[in-house]
Amino acid sequence: MRYLPHTAEDLREMLEVVGVKSTEDLFGSIPSEVRRDSEIHIEPRSEWRLSREFEEMAAGAPVAFAGAGSCSHCIPAHVTYLASRSEFLTSYTPYQPEISQGTLQAIFEFQTMTAELLGMDIANASMYDGASSLAEAVLMAVRVKKKPKIAVSRLNHPHYLQVLKTYLRPTGFEVTELESLPDGKTDCSALPDDVSALVVQSPNFLGVIEDLKAVAEAAHSKGALLVVSFTEAMAWGLLKNPGSQGADIVSGEGKSFGIPHNFGGPGVGLLTCRKDFVRTLPGRLAGETLDKNGERSFVLTLAAREQHIRREKAVSNICTNSGHNALTAAIYMSTAGKEGLREIAQLNHDKAVYLQKGLENAGFRALFDAPFFNEFVMVAPAGFEKRYETLLDRGFVAGLKLGGFPGYGDPRYKDAYLFCATEAHSREVLDEFFAILKEVA
């Protein structure tokens, strides 16, 4: 992105337009205790030098064998190129179908591919991210079942649970947390009565693939809906989708489909459901129809948001569709195709298996004997904590230490690390990591 500084004349003209004399007056409403009055001393650089410095910083970035909700994935150049075309870079909200057919069709295609990927009937036009999408999914389940209790697996991503609890706090709904089994899956035996939803993530935060069919049976036996969450959309290129296993609502993060890390955000939330619940679905929904000439066309439909109906009747006040990220994800999915997604997903799993075997050869032990996709938990050999820092100095992030994560203070996680490998990790990089791991032992 280019930086275009304002000249003194530019600033003077802008201040005149807004009716103030100086930038000090412009920011006068900001409390002094949160303002910085002193100069920020930044050495002036030419554009070429600045670009070179950033390139050098990027070249020295460590290789991370850690995901925990944000895994490294390759982004094909055509995805970035197509998504960057100027006709897609619009902030226009597609309320008026007569001038928004392109945007509406992009959203429609995104919805269609998302629903097919997850095996569900309906997908909306995206949410902020995976965490807020989960919260909206749970509120949706409560609207359907009208029971003020929710059961959540503790193996959902801790940050997602924090967001969910924040959403639910003002509602007074009761949240019951379900513990984990020794194999790293959710224990549904303590599922209480009178719950609207059972919320399970798969693959869960520890990387274990849940038995969704069994979980669905447990939820439905109590008259609850099964809400399946996920942080790694790529997994559904290889695994049996949630819809075919009894899920009623599925929500998650679609960042794996061509969206860079960007220091944590933004992402693109995916939210799908069975068609019975379509009228309780939050956010935008683009539909296909025919215009007065019988031509295929697209419109926003069934959008029960506060911008469309009375506030007290709205199912949600979520007010963005992460439109450009949804478009990017749609480009990624459409150009990879079903076979392409499956091949990339298979690469993820194969690289993760290779990483796990290499770690076992270095003295690590798998914490769970359970199937995983591209993340897994390993217990480190004695003294690894010091070697972790050495590995970091040598350019590798050797997993995520679970003991530092909220909700994982249990002694069995004391020396446990969550590892991740994807298609972005080459065989050469993995072997280099194993060699350095052996060297610093």
At 295-305, the pLDDT tens digits run: 999 998 887 66
Rounded Cα distance between 403 and 410, Å, is 8
pLDDT(252) > 80: yes
Closest CA to 269 of 109, 140, 119, 126: 126
pLDDT above 70 coverage of the chain, percent: 96
User: Looking at residues 318-324, what average pLDDT do you find?
Assistant: 79
User: Looking at residues 271-284, what average pLDDT do you find?
Assistant: 92
pLDDT(229) > 80: yes
pLDDT(46) > 50: yes
| Cα–Cα distances in angstroms (integers) from residue 266 to residues 127, 250, 255, in the given order | 11, 20, 8
Which amino acid, residue 136? E
Place of tokens 């030098």: 49
Contact 174, 150 (CB under 8 A): yes
Rounded Cα distance between 232 and 406, Å, is 20
User: Looking at residues 328-354, what average pLDDT do you find?
Assistant: 97
How would residue 1 be classed by pLDDT, with cut points 50, 70 and 90? Answer: very low
* More confident of the two residues 51 and 420: 420
pLDDT(315) > 70: yes
pLDDT(121) > 80: yes
Closest CA to 252 of 70, 66, 64: 70
Place of tokens 């392109």: 102
Rounded Cα distance between 140 and 277, Å, is 8
- Summarize the chain as % helix, strand, coil (round to 5): 45, 15, 40
At 62-114, the pLDDT tens digits run: 899 999 999 999 999 999 999 999 888 876 666 778 888 988 999 999 999 99
Closest CA to 131 of 107, 100, 165: 165
At 398-410, the pLDDT tens digits run: 999 998 788 898 8
pLDDT of residue 307: 62
Mean pLDDT, rounded, of the chain: 92
- For 218-236, the DSSP string reads HHHHTTPEEEEEES-GGGG
How would residue 396 be classed by pLDDT, with cut points 50, 70 and 90? Answer: very high
